[in-house]
Chains A and B, each alone.
Chain A
Amino acid sequence: MRRRYFLPLLGGAAASCRRSARRLYVYNWSEYVAPETIPGFEREFHAEVRYAEFESNEELLAKVFAGNSGWDVVFPSHYFIPPMVENGLLAPLDHARLPNLANLALASPPWDPRLAHCAPYMIGAAGILYNPKLMAEPASWNALWDPAVKGRITMLDDPADTLGAALKRASRSLNSTRPAELAHARDELIRQKPLVRAYLNAEARDQVMAGDLMAAHLWTTTSLQAIAEAEHLRFLYPREGFAEYCDCAVILRECRNPELAHDFVNYLLRPEVAARIAQHTATATANAAARRLLPPELRESEALYPSPETAARGEYFATLPAAAQQLRDRVWTEVKAA
């Protein structure tokens, strides 16, 4: 991550010697472009990109919500787009400057149906990574509540994802704000807790690969990294449903060079550029034209691009009102303290 952060800066320093005054400040998730993505844009558009990376939405929001963050193009997860619009942080997208928006598979996402402010970039989801040598296919979330898996599973250390899994198991919405439904999810997670070895995020990957774990509630990208190393592992989306999120490119209102920022977003939406990024990061691109250019093992991956029947069971996280966020946080704390 450090290296990536540094190289564009060095490249940028060289470019500024050539008197290119066009500069773009881009703030993206770590490991979220291909190595040639940024240099390619700099060469073609005679611009200098100052590129830096963040590890969580909170890190991004803390900088951007104050205004005057200094960034031009940033990549929040989809559920932060409505509040960012509401707070006047985003510049409207000029579709005339973004012909490549037509390449998107997600042409009308629920959080911004007319793509007025965001260009969907990458899609992620959470399901179950499991070891078929140690357990039967966990077709339902119930498999992670089965006493037979005691001490051999992990759940995500993320309130939205893990409350979401418990809610989905009860055939409720991920985004439920109803106290009774949340109380039920809490009780079920507390009941499950003795079976759970730990609440882990990416660290669960190595333990599934090592055979320590039968299964882990995990994100697609992390799971595919594990499967790339240990081919006997499998990933699936439980039948009751699963959580999805989409990281999007947005242009901040404070952007000093909207023209260049639009060029950059349009460049990222090019099929060959987006395909390289999707291939390098092994993440699902929101770009349909790019998906067609991918090697078959990625293009046909059921984990990255679930079939329409599976996809229909996915639900996007929603932006929740403050009171609901507080209630859910308390419920999560109760699970952790139990």
Chain B
Amino acid sequence: MKPRTWFLLPARTVMLLLFAVPMLIVAAYSLLTRGAYGGQGAPWTLANYARLLDPLYLEILLKSFWIAALATALCLLLGFPLALFIARARTRKTLWLALVTLPFWTSFLVRTYAWMFLLRDTGLINTILLGLGLISEPLPLLYNDAAVVLGLVYGYLPFTVLPIYAVLDRIGPELLEAAEDLGATPAQVVRRIVLPLARPGLLAGAVLVFVPCLGAYLTPDLMGGGKSILIGNVIQNQFTNARDWPFGAALSAVLMVIVMGLLLLVRRKTSEHGGLP
């Protein structure tokens, strides 16, 4: 074998063991029959996939797409100006970047609970608003779809800021100066120079947010109070309460195929425009 092959062996092994094998296990489970009390076994069947055609699950899938898309759009909307600010900052760039990544130092679960403490009836926000006399009844801030989206946007915002920042940071100031010299207003500079150049970062950020949001189950459960169900919750429930691993595996497999299809689409789109970073 060529030395190149040897050098690639560790990476290939990791990819195989940590990515390909688990996916194959999921695929295999999705074709098995559920045991009477959980577990799975023979015979091989496509019944789990047939169950997916139930409009109930399609409806939940659609809703999950809608919530994930909304969260992604909001993340981009908030993440782009923030990334632009950091990229253009003359000083303290490292500090701003550190602040963006700071939330990762604590667990996502703890941070979600912190939001619940802020939003609940006796939480900080309602207490202040009640204290100021602006409202007479606590606002129902928690346990609805808006709270779920808020939780997702909060959780995944850094994933849009960082790739967008990476792209914006590489845009030389001379480009922007040239645009201004030629008479472009600041808005025109952003729209005609910065945004097109930031496209790969925006796309990478969108993918990094959309994919985990699509499979999220913790946030809908905690912030949504279990009142709305996303596809991630259905899958989780199959592996826990319902003890139907094959059906859960089939749901996961379909979700993975959809996500992969979307990624391929994005890739094709971006390679027409110069590729992902």
The reply to whether A329 and B244 form a contact with Cβ atoms under 8 Å apart is yes
Q: Would you call B60 an interface residue if the criterion is a C-beta within 8 Å of the partner chain's C-beta atoms?
A: yes
Q: Would you call B103 an interface residue if the criterion is a C-beta within 8 Å of the partner chain's C-beta atoms?
A: no
| CB-nearest residue of chain A to B57 | A333
The reply to whether B143 and A198 form a contact with Cβ atoms under 8 Å apart is yes
Question: Which residues 22-50 in B have Cβ within 8 Å of A in the complex?
Answer: 34-39
Question: Which residues 225-242 in B have Cβ within 8 Å of A in the complex?
Answer: 225-229, 233-234, 237-242
What are the interface flags for A294-338 relative to B under an 8 Å C-beta threshold, 1 for contact and 0 otherwise?
Answer: 000000000000000000000000010110011001100110110
The reply to whether B243 and A337 form a contact with Cβ atoms under 8 Å apart is no
The reply to whether A83 and B36 form a contact with Cβ atoms under 8 Å apart is yes
| CB-nearest residue of chain B to A59 | B240
Question: Which residues 215-262 in B have Cβ within 8 Å of A in the complex?
Answer: 221, 224-229, 233-234, 237-244
| CB-nearest residue of chain B to A213 | B121
Q: Would you call A65 an interface residue if the criterion is a C-beta within 8 Å of the partner chain's C-beta atoms?
A: yes
| CB-nearest residue of chain A to B238 | A329
Chain A residue numbers with a CB within 8 Å of B59 are 337
Chain A residue numbers with a CB within 8 Å of B138 are 212
Distance between Cα atoms of A163 and B195 in the complex (Å)? 52
Contact of B225 among A159, A200, A212, A326 (CB under 8 A): A200
What are the interface flags for B108-135 relative to A under an 8 Å C-beta threshold, 1 for contact and 0 otherwise?
Answer: 0000000000001110000000000000
- Which of A58, A212, A336 has the most B CB atoms < 10 Å from its CB? A336
The reply to whether A58 and B241 form a contact with Cβ atoms under 8 Å apart is yes
Once A65-B38, A196-B227, A319-B37 are accepted as A-B contacts, the answer to whether A326 and B244 lie under 8 Å apart by CB is: yes
Chain B residue numbers with a CB within 8 Å of A157 are 221, 226
Distance between Cα atoms of A336 and B234 in the complex (Å)? 10
Chain B residue numbers with a CB within 8 Å of A65 are 37-39
The reply to whether A83 and B227 form a contact with Cβ atoms under 8 Å apart is no
Chain A residue numbers with a CB within 8 Å of B233 are 336
Question: Which residues 49-84 in A have Cβ within 8 Å of B in the complex?
Answer: 56, 58, 61-62, 65, 80, 83
Distance between Cα atoms of A321 and B35 in the complex (Å)? 10
| CB-nearest residue of chain A to B242 | A329
Contact of B122 among A58, A193, A212 (CB under 8 A): A212
The reply to whether B38 and A336 form a contact with Cβ atoms under 8 Å apart is no
Chain A residue numbers with a CB within 8 Å of B227 are 193, 196, 198-199, 336
CB proximity of A328 to chain B, nearest CB, Å: 9
| CB-nearest residue of chain A to B224 | A198
The reply to whether B243 and A207 form a contact with Cβ atoms under 8 Å apart is no
Distance between Cα atoms of A326 and B38 in the complex (Å)? 11
The reply to whether B226 and A151 form a contact with Cβ atoms under 8 Å apart is no
The reply to whether A212 and B120 form a contact with Cβ atoms under 8 Å apart is yes
Q: Would you call A210 an interface residue if the criterion is a C-beta within 8 Å of the partner chain's C-beta atoms?
A: yes
What is the interface size of chain A, counting residues whose CB is below 8 A from a CB of the partner? 34
| CB-nearest residue of chain B to A58 | B240
CB proximity of B225 to chain A, nearest CB, Å: 3
CB proximity of B60 to chain A, nearest CB, Å: 5
Once A210-B122, A330-B56 are accepted as A-B contacts, the answer to whether A158 and B241 lie under 8 Å apart by CB is: yes
CB proximity of A199 to chain B, nearest CB, Å: 3
Question: Which residues 60-100 in B have Cβ within 8 Å of A in the complex?
Answer: 60, 63
The reply to whether A61 and B226 form a contact with Cβ atoms under 8 Å apart is no
The reply to whether A207 and B120 form a contact with Cβ atoms under 8 Å apart is yes
The reply to whether B226 and A336 form a contact with Cβ atoms under 8 Å apart is yes
What are the interface flags for A231-260 relative to B under an 8 Å C-beta threshold, 1 for contact and 0 otherwise?
Answer: 000000000000000000000000000000
Q: Would you call A23 an interface residue if the criterion is a C-beta within 8 Å of the partner chain's C-beta atoms?
A: no
| CB-nearest residue of chain A to B221 | A157
Distance between Cα atoms of A31 and B149 in the complex (Å)? 34
| CB-nearest residue of chain B to A83 | B37
Contact of B240 among A56, A151, A197 (CB under 8 A): A56
| CB-nearest residue of chain B to A335 | B229
Top 5 closest A-B pairs, CB basis?
A198-B225, A199-B226, A336-B229, A83-B37, A329-B242
B positions within 8 Å CB-CB of A: 34-39, 54, 56-57, 59-60, 63, 120-122, 138, 140, 142-143, 221, 224-229, 233-234, 237-244
Additional 18 contacts, C-beta under 8 A, given A210-B122, A337-B59: A58-B243, A62-B38, A83-B36, A151-B140, A157-B221, A193-B227, A197-B225, A198-B225, A199-B225, A200-B226, A319-B37, A322-B34, A326-B242, A330-B54, A333-B57, A333-B60, A333-B237, A334-B56
